[in-house]
């Protein structure tokens, strides 16, 4: 009885454990999620520019103005902790790729009435790429945002190539920028 | 000794009955989760059974009769498309090209759904070369 | 130098892990070597561990209440504009915080056992086992899911907790009750392990833990009912139980724990069903660990789950270890545990308890099978399936009916063997009750099988309770020559356990009737209302008078005022609404409920409400007798609390008057 019992226990545990291990290993949905926008033109927008960039870009920045250049459009908010993780990464890559013709655009969204907090965010990381304010979050709805942070990669012809949900990492940016500049 | 035999026999009978009941219940109540193309491949096996049909809402196919509260649209996975009717208002996140899972049954070629679930995010659009990544679509609609 | 809260919290988590580890090791060594110094040290470390864990809790709540976004958990889950109570409950609103809460409650229970549990050879082992479990939880907290990580660049605000969790005050109650239940049941588990280890599998370990077990079971029962009510008030479909995987994993340990609570009485009195008892409590604990694994691993998808995280593999490993060690030990000690005596007759209290065990184990197995089946199917064929309410209802309803049947006759059966005469007469009365109640229901229009059967069984059970009371009171009245009420009062005072169980069984009947009717006769429709227009529904006239917007600091509500009339009489104004919380675009439909004894009227918005909307679509649900589920739940909690009160009495000294009376009758 002793041996049978032990054997039975081990067998049952092995089966259950195996089943659950399979469940765990099934994997998570890919973060570079194919998007319905993929292959479609990026939705147009014209948004007010944060005061740091007004001298360079004027009061507002529109997608039209950036036609012909590959874009990295990054959506963020002042209350979004992972955005604080990716901001230095974005800034570093901006400095590296600025001369290649790519434009990084930051969009502060889902942050109604928080312009001052947005300025503080920009100051904190010394972001030198243009950042605009999507106060009523309408643009985030147009672009089908899941949440923040989310980063879209738009080709020279204004077509959305891909998007990344969650904070971007150097690996992601390496791959996406290579594709953009091809 | 006789008591043990009696209990043992009773136990076996009970277990058998329970097993049969469970097996039957599983068979009749399992709801398969299928894409339109998967359903098309094997339509006969789902005959008369409830399924969860998953896919994208085909652009241009949505119509909502707000007097009768009847929602009609087509669900597609770029390989096969099926018409769907649903009695009720479209949920907030329901949109064209959005992911949707609808539970119900096929009636004469039209899928009559009574439970509409919308996945918020995870839209899927097949790459231009037409090769559908069925697994990716399914995964995004889980 | 100002010490960051995050650093203090991380230190506390790590220290709690170290103390628990020390306590487990010292406890094992002290118990096996019978070294009183090590044993005492282990006991003290249990108390110390609780203090350290409390520091961690205080740190986290402080960080939440002071909006300290340098603490990663606060940055990810809290928000400045949330009301104070939301900030407090944010502690357990997400994965890492829930682990912190569980670990803290566990350390509290362990400290309590160390401080007040009766001296016994089992105690050091039991405390060591609990410290072992604690070691795991604090390990996960400190190393895998540390909520106290310090963020170098604290964000200026956070997103706030999941909207569904901010929408209702029950968030403050249900999770705490649930964890108190699960953690409370760790105590009898620890003692059972101690009994196996020390080869003392007699009644000792159960008598020592009787109240801990009942308290844990009571909390779990209350938590499940509260969770159902919370779902009802919040989720918008007008139901309270969807056989969702996360709901199921809270139900399964409850089922085996219920069997355990009954079955231990057999061991106390007749020293039988020992293997059942040990197996039941081991299974209960294993199922609760399985539950924490399933809700925190992403293996099953659910509306309630915490989602996947790095803790999944850790909990799986813990589950495997727990089951291997506990059941392996049971197998190894089988000779000690197995019964020496045999059942005299199935028709006896012992037989009824055995029946309880079988039925509840069958229920637990059915629920487990249904919950895991989709995973099995996917592993084998890759197909995705759902196993939903049709399966669970089909399989469990007949068993529930059998449970109700057994619940009526069981308490009336005497120990050893029922006397034909009294059994027949009792049964006759009860069956008469069944027929009368069922017939009455039928006559009043109840034609569906399960509701009618449930009413019949309710009548049957009420008669049974009446017979039980009469059997207890009548002989006492004859002896004492006192009026019934006085006798009842003194009986209730002296027999808290018995009376408590009667109240609980009655509560179960109430809940059963509520469930049967609210499920069987539910009317669920989508109704379109023009603003200013009306519609008829089940005898009510619903008029949407106007839209409203109600912004507060915590959320913005937009909804519609609906006047409810019954015939010409104005009943009430309901305000179904959509709540939008800051930091999210998602609107959460928040239903409005009219509670009435005979049925509820439940309204939930199914369409968007914006300025200029000319009509709304409401989901309207009428659920008969659903309120009685919550009433029954409260009654059940009261009955359990009553049974727990009073002093512990030695089982042998109790005079079993009902049995004597039954013999006399």
Chain C residues whose beta carbon lies within 8 Å of the beta carbon of residue A23: 297, 299-300, 375, 379
For the segment C320-370, what is each residue's pLDDT rounded down to a tens digit?
999 999 999 999 898 888 887 777 787 888 889 999 999 999 999 999 999
Distance CA A106, CA A149 (A): 10
Pairing between β-strand C556-566 and β-strand C569-574 as defined by DSSP bridges: antiparallel
Distance CA C496, CA C635 (A): 15
> In 3-state terms, chain B is what percent helix, strand and coil (to 5)?
30, 35, 35
Residue among A1, A84, A114 whose CB faces C334 most closely: A1
Region B21-34 average pLDDT:
87
Residue C542 lies in a domain: yes
Q: What percent of chain C has pLDDT over 90?
A: 65
Tell me what pLDDT residue C308 has. Answer: 62
Cα C367 to its chain centre, rounded Å, is: 15
Answer yes or no: do B70 and B131 share one domain: yes
For the segment C541-565, what is each residue's pLDDT rounded down to a tens digit?
999 999 999 988 778 899 999 999 9
Q: Which of A31, A32, A36 to mutate to test the interface with B (most CBs of B within 10 A)?
A: A36
Q: Which residues contact C591 (CB under 8 A, 6 or more apart)?
A: C233, C234, C236, C238, C576, C602, C603, C604, C605
pLDDT higher for B15 or B73?
B73
Answer yes or no: do B12 and B82 share one domain: no
B33 CA to chain A: closest CA distance, Å? Answer: 17
Tell me what pLDDT residue A27 has. Answer: 56
Query: Would you call B21 and C385 a contact, using CB atoms and an 8 Å cutoff?
Result: no
C77 near C159, Cβ under 8 Å? yes
Distance CA B111, CA C525 (A): 20
Q: How many domains does chain B have?
A: 2
Q: How confident is the model at residue C486 (pLDDT cuts 50, 70, 90)?
A: confident
Which residue range is the domain that position B107 belongs to?
31-140
- The answer, yes or no, to whether residue C658 has pLDDT greater than 50, is no
Answer yes or no: do B66 and B44 share one domain: yes
Answer yes or no: do C507 and C538 share one domain: no
Q: Which residues contact B59 (CB under 8 A, 6 or more apart)?
A: B96, B97
Region C613-627 average pLDDT:
93
Beta bridge partners of C617: C528
The answer to whether residue C384 neighbours chain B at the CB level (below 8 Å) is yes
Region C276-288 average pLDDT:
95
- The answer, yes or no, to whether residue C412 has pLDDT greater than 80, is yes
Residue among A30, A33, A36 whose CB faces B97 most closely: A36
Closest by CA position to A51, among listed A108, A97, A94:
A108
**Which chains touch C (3+ CB pairs under 8 A)?**
A, B
Q: Which residues contact C282 (CB under 8 A, 6 or more apart)?
A: C189, C192, C326, C327, C330
Beta bridge partners of B65: B70
The answer to whether residue C339 neighbours chain A at the CB level (below 8 Å) is no
The answer to whether residue B45 neighbours chain A at the CB level (below 8 Å) is no
Chain A residues whose beta carbon lies within 8 Å of the beta carbon of residue C379: 19, 22-23
Compute the count of residue pairs across chains B and C with CB atoms less than 8 Å apart. Answer: 66
Which residue range is the domain that position C607 belongs to?
523-624
In chain A, domain spans: 1-29, 46-181
Answer yes or no: do C444 and C556 share one domain: no
Residue C484 lies in a domain: yes
C32 CA to chain B: closest CA distance, Å? Answer: 39
Residue among C301, C384, C606 whose CB faces B89 most closely: C606
Which of residues C106, C141, C161 is at a domain's end? C161
Query: Would you call A34 and B124 a contact, using CB atoms and an 8 Å cutoff?
Result: yes
pLDDT higher for B125 or C133?
C133
Closest by CA position to C148, among listed C84, C70, C86:
C70
The answer to whether residue C375 neighbours chain B at the CB level (below 8 Å) is no
B57 CA to chain A: closest CA distance, Å? Answer: 11
pTM for this entry: 0.89
Distance CA C327, CA C106 (A): 22
Tell me what pLDDT residue A32 has. Answer: 44
Residue C390 lies in a domain: no
CATH at B57: 2.40.50.140
Task: Report helix, strand or coil for A78.
Answer: coil
Worst-scoring range by mean pLDDT, B5-9, C67-71, C484-488?
A: B5-9
C660-665: long-range contacts at Cβ-Cβ below 8 A with a sequence spacing of 24 or more? C660/C475, C661/C471, C661/C472, C661/C474, C661/C475, C662/C412, C662/C414, C662/C419, C662/C422, C662/C426, C662/C471, C663/C414, C663/C419, C663/C422, C664/C475, C665/C422, C665/C425, C665/C471
Residue with token string 């355990």: C260
Answer yes or no: do B74 and B104 share one domain: yes
Residue C444 lies in a domain: yes
The top-level CATH class assigned to A46-181 is alpha beta
CA-to-CA separations, C653 to B20, C269, C349, C495, C585, in angstroms, rounded: 47, 11, 19, 12, 65
Which positions in chain B have a beta carbon within 8 angstroms of at least one beta carbon in chain C? 3, 14, 18, 21-22, 25-26, 28-33, 52, 66-67, 69, 87-89, 91-92, 120, 138, 142
Chain B residues whose beta carbon lies within 8 Å of the beta carbon of residue A30: 136, 139
Cα C145 to its chain centre, rounded Å, is: 25
The answer to whether residue C390 neighbours chain B at the CB level (below 8 Å) is yes
Distance CA C568, CA C557 (A): 30
Answer yes or no: do C484 and C421 share one domain: yes
What is the SS3 assignment for C394-409? HHHHHHHHHHHHHHHH
Q: How confident is the model at residue B137 (pLDDT cuts 50, 70, 90)?
A: low
pLDDT higher for B142 or A40?
A40
Q: Which residues contact A55 (CB under 8 A, 6 or more apart)?
A: none
Residue C508 lies in a domain: yes
Q: How many domains does chain C have?
A: 3
For the segment A42-58, what is each residue's pLDDT rounded down to a tens digit?
888 999 999 889 998 88
Query: Would you call B88 and C391 a contact, using CB atoms and an 8 Å cutoff?
Result: no
The answer to whether residue C607 neighbours chain B at the CB level (below 8 Å) is yes
Answer yes or no: do B50 and B25 share one domain: no
Distance CA A77, CA C583 (A): 9
Answer yes or no: do C514 and C528 share one domain: no
Residue among A29, A37, A38 whose CB faces B122 most closely: A29
User: Any idea what DSSP says for residue C140?
Assistant: I
Residue C137 lies in a domain: yes
Residues in chain B, overall count: 142
pLDDT higher for A118 or C660?
A118
Distance CA C624, CA A89 (A): 58
Q: What percent of chain A has pLDDT over 70?
A: 93
pLDDT higher for C172 or A29?
C172
Distance CA C357, CA C350 (A): 11
Answer yes or no: do B73 and B97 share one domain: yes
Q: Which of A23, A25, A28, A33 to mutate to test the interface with B (most CBs of B within 10 A)?
A: A33
C185 near C210, Cβ under 8 Å? no
């Amino acid at each position: 009885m002793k041996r049978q019992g032990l054997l039975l226990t081990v067998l049952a545990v092995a089966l259950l454990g195996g089943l659950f291990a399979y469940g765990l290993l099934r994997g998570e949905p890919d973060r570079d999620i194919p998007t319905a926008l993929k292959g479609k033109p990026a939705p147009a927008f014209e948004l007010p520019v944060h005061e740091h960039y007004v001298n360079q870009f004027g009061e507002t920045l529109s997608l039209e103005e950036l036609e012909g250049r590959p874009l990295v459009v990054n959506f963020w908010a002042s209350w979004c902790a992972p955005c604080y993780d990716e901001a230095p990464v974005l800034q570093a890559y901006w400095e590296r790729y600025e001369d290649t013709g790519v434009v990084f655009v930051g969009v502060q969204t889902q942050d109604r009435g928080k312009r001052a907090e947005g300025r503080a965010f920009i100051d904190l990381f010394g972001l030198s790429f243009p950042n605009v304010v999507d106060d009523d979050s309408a643009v985030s709805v147009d672009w089908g945002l899941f949440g923040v942070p989310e980063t879209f990669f738009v080709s020279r012809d204004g077509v959305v190539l891909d998007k990344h949900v969650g904070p971007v990492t150097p690996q992601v940016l390496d791959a996406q920028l290579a594709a953009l500049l091809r | 000794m006789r008591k043990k035999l009696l209990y043992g026999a009773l136990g076996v009978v009970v277990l058998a009955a329970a097993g049969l009941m469970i097996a039957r219940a599983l068979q009749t109540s399992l709801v398969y989760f299928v894409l339109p193309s998967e359903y098309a491949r094997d339509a006969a096996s789902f005959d008369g059974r409830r399924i969860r049909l998953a896919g994208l809402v085909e652009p241009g196919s949505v119509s909502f009769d707000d007097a009768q509260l009847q929602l009609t649209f087509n669900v597609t996975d770029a390989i096969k498309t099926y018409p769907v009717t649903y009695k009720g208002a479209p949920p907030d996140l329901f949109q064209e090209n959005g992911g949707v899972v609808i539970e119900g049954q096929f009636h004469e070629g039209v899928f009559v759904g009574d439970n509409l679930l919308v996945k918020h995010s995870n839209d899927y659009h097949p790459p231009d070369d037409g090769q559908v990544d069925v697994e990716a679509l399914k995964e995004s609609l889980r | 130098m100002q010490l960051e809260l995050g650093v203090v919290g991380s230190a506390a988590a790590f220290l709690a892990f170290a103390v628990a580890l020390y306590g487990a090791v010292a406890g094992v060594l002290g118990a096996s070597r019978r070294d009183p110094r090590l044993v005492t040290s282990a006991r003290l470390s249990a108390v110390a561990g609780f203090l350290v864990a409390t520091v961690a809790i205080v740190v986290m709540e402080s960080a939440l209440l002071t909006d300290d976004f340098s603490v990663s958990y606060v940055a990810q889950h809290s928000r400045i504009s949330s009301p104070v109570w939301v900030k407090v409950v944010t502690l357990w609103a997400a994965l890492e915080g829930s682990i912190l809460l569980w670990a803290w409650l566990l350390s509290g229970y362990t400290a309590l056992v160390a401080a007040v549990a009766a001296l016994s050879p089992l105690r050091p082992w039991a405390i060591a086992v609990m410290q072992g479990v604690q070691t795991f939880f604090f390990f996960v907290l400190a190393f895998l899911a540390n909520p106290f990580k310090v963020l170098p660049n604290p964000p200026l605000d956070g997103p706030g907790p999941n909207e569904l969790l901010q929408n209702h005050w029950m968030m403050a109650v249900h999770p705490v009750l649930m964890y108190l239940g699960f953690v409370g049941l760790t105590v009898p588990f620890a003692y059972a392990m101690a009994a196996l280890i020390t080869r003392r599998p007699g009644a000792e370990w159960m008598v020592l833990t009787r109240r801990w077990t009942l308290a844990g079971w009571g909390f779990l029962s209350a938590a499940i009912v509260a969770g159902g009510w919370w779902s009802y008030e919040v989720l918008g479909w007008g139901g309270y139980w969807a056989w969702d995987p996360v709901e199921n994993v809270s139900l399964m340990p409850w089922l085996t724990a219920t069997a355990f609570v009954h079955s231990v009485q057999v061991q106390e009195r007749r020293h039988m069903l020992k293997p059942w008892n040990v197996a039941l409590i081991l299974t209960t604990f294993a199922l609760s660990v399985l539950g924490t694994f399933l809700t925190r691993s992403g293996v099953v998808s659910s509306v309630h789950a915490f989602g996947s995280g790095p803790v999944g593999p850790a909990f799986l490993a813990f589950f495997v270890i727990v089951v291997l060690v506990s059941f392996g030990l049971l197998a190894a000690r089988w000779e000690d545990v197995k019964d020496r005596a045999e059942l005299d007759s199935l028709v006896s209290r012992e037989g009824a308890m055995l029946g309880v065990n079988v039925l509840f184990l069958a229920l637990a197995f059915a629920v487990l099978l249904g919950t895991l089946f989709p995973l099995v199917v996917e592993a084998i064929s890759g197909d995705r399936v759902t196993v939903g309410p049709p399966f669970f209802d089909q399989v469990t309803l007949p068993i529930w009916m059998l449970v109700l049947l057994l619940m009526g006759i069981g308490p009336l059966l005497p120990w050893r063997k029922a006397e034909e005469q009294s059994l027949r007469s009792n049964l006759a009365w009860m069956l008469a009750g069944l027929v009368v109640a069922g017939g009455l229901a039928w006559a009043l229009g109840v034609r569906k099988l399960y509701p009618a059967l449930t009413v019949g069984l309710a009548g049957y059970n009420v008669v049974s309770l009446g017979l039980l009371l009469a059997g207890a009171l009548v002989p006492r009245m004859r002896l004492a020559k006192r009026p019934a009420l006085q006798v009842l009062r003194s009986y209730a005072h002296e027999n808290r356990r018995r009376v408590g169980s009667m109240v609980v069984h009655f509560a179960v009947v109430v809940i059963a009737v509520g469930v049967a009717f609210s499920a069987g006769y539910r009317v669920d429709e989508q109704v379109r209302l023009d603003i200013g227009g009306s519609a008829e529904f089940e005898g009510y006239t619903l008029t949407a008078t106007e839209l409203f917007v109600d912004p507060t600091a915590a959320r913005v509500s937009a909804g519609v005022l609906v006047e409810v009339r019954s015939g010409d009489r104005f009943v009430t104004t309901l305000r179904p609404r959509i709540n939008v919380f800051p930091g999210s675009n998602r609107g959460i439909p928040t239903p409005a409920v009219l509670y009435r004894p005979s049925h509820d009227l439940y309204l939930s918005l199914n369409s968007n409400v914006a300025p200029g909307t000319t009509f709304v679509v409401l989901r309207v649900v009428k659920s008969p007798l659903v309120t009685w589920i919550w009433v029954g739940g409260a009654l059940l909690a009261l009955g359990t609390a009553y049974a727990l009160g009073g002093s512990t009495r030695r089982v042998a000294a109790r005079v079993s008057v009902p049995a004597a009376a039954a013999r006399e009758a």
